[in-house]
Structures are given as structure tokens and as C-alpha cells.
Amino acid sequence: MRTQVGIVGAGPAGLMLSHLLHLRGIASVVVECRSRDHVERRVRAGVLEQGSVDLLREAGLGERLAREGARHEGIELRFGGEAYRVPMTELTGRAITVYGQQEVVKDLVAARLAAGGEILFEVDDVNLHGLDSESPLVRFRHHGREVELHCDFVVGCDGSHGVSRGAVPDGVLTSYERSYPFAWLGVLAAAAPAVDELVYARHERGFALYSLRSPEISRLYLQVDPAEKLEEWPDERIWSELRRRLETVPGWTVNTGPILEKSITPMRSLVVEPMQWQRLFLAGDAVHIVPPTGAKGMNLALADVALLGEAFADWYAYGRDGLLRDYSRTALRRVWRAQHFSWWMTSMLHRLDSHDPYEQQLQLSTLRYVASSRSYATSLAENYVGLPSI
């Protein structure tokens, strides 16, 4: 089997890259270890930056997004019994759109399959060879058959547990990493959201986030200990904890309903540099991870492959390798900005057992400063809606 660009992983990064390449007349094959049903149902992120919305729209994927996505012009910060709205659009002229990651994935899978694109689901034992040659090879098993996919380039879009990054020889890559002593318990609930805009809450018992997916579906998160198991969190305990952390504003209540899905995600920051070795390029969670507090993970994945789409177009149309060579350096500027913002939001809003009363006061002071200073609020807002690469 032969293609121009072999892509490992059918998450937002891999699927979007395959679509962008197709629009430029470049062939690709996506290999994915899970089933189509699994990737389309995986509940994860929900916030699209303005730049991600523009990218999806320009790539012809804006129709359902425009119909079902919800434009948000502000977010709320809740802390110490106060509530403050960050008026993002007033401060920056831009907005975010709430549209579930699995909806982005569904739209992309549908677009690729409608265009005759090849996505091989449920492949096993993916491994990469000849990455330092002009004809690298992706080897895997599909329906019990050994398959060899010959390509010009391989792009690893296989997320934080993928295999692509491991194909780079020892000593080439440098990792920058931070783990946090907490995780997020995320739930999707059949409950009408009690909010019009996202609420990020700092509370003595830990962080909580109120988000939404539709007029009937709420998406909520609680800071929990990473060692805790889902079995320790029956639905009643989740609702009671959400109430304690969010019902800090007089007269306001959380709307409850059946919980449709729940999962616990540990929190980590990671950057691996460079994002390329020879004919292997790495994109999205395969090469950088952010804690979800800044809502940046999916947006970074899409921004990476937007660069790769242009770089491959330049290579195939004109034989120019400048953009491919610059890919890692260019992408890392955005990646590090998002790293700092995600770390900052996380540090400001989460409870840390190691925090002494002095550090708790610093958190509250930072939040009050956002609430009282137009320039500090603008800094939060411009990072949240997404900065151009800086």
C-alpha cells in the first residue's frame, strides 16, 4: 500500500490533517487503533477558539458547527463568594464557540469518508520504520492481515499514549514536564445548564467548572485526587460536591439530571522538542499536553496541523522545504504560550494540599486583580480566545 502522507491516529489532529491535505490534492491514509464508534463517542474537550472555528469553516466544515455550536462572549470566575464576568469579546473582539470534540471528530470522519478518504480503524501493532530514509514505512495489522504502508512522510497524531514519539532515537528529543497532584472528574449530564456562560470556580474544597453542550446537556468538572476511582463517585456524591463548590452565589442552583458519562483524567503539562525528526512530524497530544483548565488541548492540535497542511502543500506544489523545516519552531511558539496560560489558570483556580494560607491569599488576590483590572482581564481573555502565534 502506498500514499503520500501516512497519519497515525484519528483524533482531531490526524483527521483534520488528512482533510486539509485532501483539499490541497495530497493523498493520505489515517491508521487508528480504536473503532469509528469509539472515537466518535469519546467525550473530551468542548471549547473552540475563534481561530479553530475559522479553520474549520474555511475547510468547509462550518455548517453543523454554525447551527449547533454556541458562541460565547464571556466566562465567569467564581471565588470567595464573589462572581466576576470576563467580557472576552468586549475586551478582545473575539469569541469562543462551545462544540463538543466528538462533534468535530464526527464532522471530520464524515467529510473524509464522503471524499473517498481512507481511515483504517481498529488497526493493531502500529510501528514505524525508515523514518530517516526518503520512503518511510508504517507497518500494522488490519483485520488479521500484516499491512505495509509506504509513504513520503509520517505524521504522528496518536495522542499522549501513542507510539510515534517512541520511534525517535534516544537523545534526539528533550522533554519538559510537570505533573499536578490532582485530576478532573468530568461528567456529561442530561440536565438543562443553569448557566449561559462557562463558570470557573475556585473553592476551598477544590476547583469546579460548569460547562454545557446544548440546552438539554450540561458538562461539569470537579477537581479530585488522582488516586480516586470512579466507583467512589456515585452520582449523588458528584451532584452534592458540585453544589457545595458552585452554589456560592445567593439564589443560584446547579440543575441536576441523569449522568450519561463520567471519567477521571489526571493532569499533566508536557512539551517534547523538536516536533520533528527526519521524515516524522509530531502533532497534538502526541508531542504536547496541557492541563485542561485553559481549554487549549484540541485547539493546539488543530493549530499544529494547520501549519503542517500549508507546509506539505508548499513541498508538493513547489518542492520547497522551508515551511516543513520551520514547523517545529513555529508551532512551539504557540505551544509554549498555551503551556504558560494553562499552568497559570490551573495554579490560580485549584486547591493544593501543599498550599499554606499565604499562597491561598495570593490565589484570591490574583482573581480579584483579574476582576478589577481591565488590562489583567484582557490578558486572560486574549489567551482564552486564542492568540496568533507569538
- Is residue 49 within a helix (H) or strand (E), and if so which, with residue range? none
72 is catalytic: yes
Q: Which of 19, 203, 288, 296 is catalytic?
A: 296
| Contacts (Cβ under 8 Å, ≥6 apart) of 99 | 46, 48, 65, 68, 69, 70
Q: How far apart are CA 139 and CA 137, in angstroms?
A: 6
* CA distance linking residue 303 with residue 321, whole number of Å: 19
Among 6, 292, 309, 386, binds ligand FAD (CB under 6 A): 292
Site for ligand DHB in 175-194 (CB under 6 A): none
* 18-26, 41-49, 302-310, 372-380 -> range binding ligand DHB (CB under 6 A): 41-49
Q: Measured from the CB atom, is 77 or 209 closer to ligand DHB?
A: 209
The yes-or-no answer on residue 340 being catalytic is: no
Picking from 101, 99, 98, the residue whose alpha carbon sits closest to that of residue 12 is 101
Which residues from 126-155 bind ligand FAD, rule CB under 6 A?
A: 126
Closer CB to ligand FAD, 74 or 292, in the complex:
292
Among 98, 167, 298, 370, binds ligand FAD (CB under 6 A): 298
45 lines the binding site for ligand FAD (CB under 6 A): yes
**Closest separation in Å from C-beta 290 to ligand DHB:** 9
Decide: 76 and 367 in contact? Cβ < 8 Å: no
> Distance between CA atoms of 307 and 327, rounded to whole angstroms?
7
Quick one: cell of 61?
466544515
Q: Which does 211 bind (CB under 5 to 8 A by kind): ligand DHB, ligand FAD, none?
A: ligand DHB
Which of positions 229-288 make contact with ligand DHB (CB under 6 A)? none
Smallest gap, in angstroms, from Cβ of residue 291 to ligand DHB? 8
Q: Is 171 exposed, middle or buried (0-12, 13-18, 19+ CB in 10 A)?
A: exposed
Exactly one of 128, 222, 295, 348 binds ligand DHB (CB under 6 A); which one? 295
* Contacting range for ligand DHB; rule: CB under 6 A; set: 128-136, 170-178, 289-297, 303-311: 289-297
Of 17, 26, 31, 267, which lies in the binding site for ligand FAD, with binding defined by CB under 6 A? 31
Report yes or no: 14 and 8 within 8 Å, Cβ to Cβ. Answer: yes
Is 19 labeled as catalytic in the residue annotation?
no
Q: Among ligand FAD, ligand DHB, none, what does residue 12 contact (CB within 5–8 Å per kind)? A: ligand FAD
Name the one range near ligand DHB by CB under 6 A: 42-50, 151-159, 240-248, 255-263.
42-50
Residue 89: other Cβ atoms inside 10 A: 16
State how far the Cα of 71 lies from the Cα of 285, in Å rounded to an integer.
Answer: 25
Partner from ligand DHB, ligand FAD, none binding residue 293, C-beta < 5-8 Å depending on class: ligand DHB
Q: Note if 292 is an active site residue.
A: yes
Q: Is 67 in the site for ligand FAD (CB under 6 A)?
A: no
Each as own residue / partner, the long-range contacts of residues 328-333 (CB below 8 Å, 24 or more positions apart, any chain) are 328/273, 328/274, 328/275, 328/276, 329/274, 330/389, 331/275, 331/283, 331/303, 331/304, 331/307, 332/271, 332/273, 332/274, 332/275, 333/389, 333/390
Q: With binding defined as CB under 6 A, does residue 198 bind ligand DHB?
A: yes
Q: At a CB cut-off of 8 Å and minimum separation 6, what does 221 contact?
A: 184, 185, 186, 187, 207, 208, 209, 211, 292
Q: Is 153 helix (H, G, I), strand (E, B) or coil?
A: strand
Q: Mark whether 106 is an active-site residue.
A: no
Q: Which residues are catalytic?
A: 72, 200, 292, 296, 384
The site for ligand FAD (CB under 6 A) is made up of 8-14, 31-34, 39, 44-45, 101, 126, 157-159, 161-163, 186, 263, 265, 284-286, 292, 295-298, 301
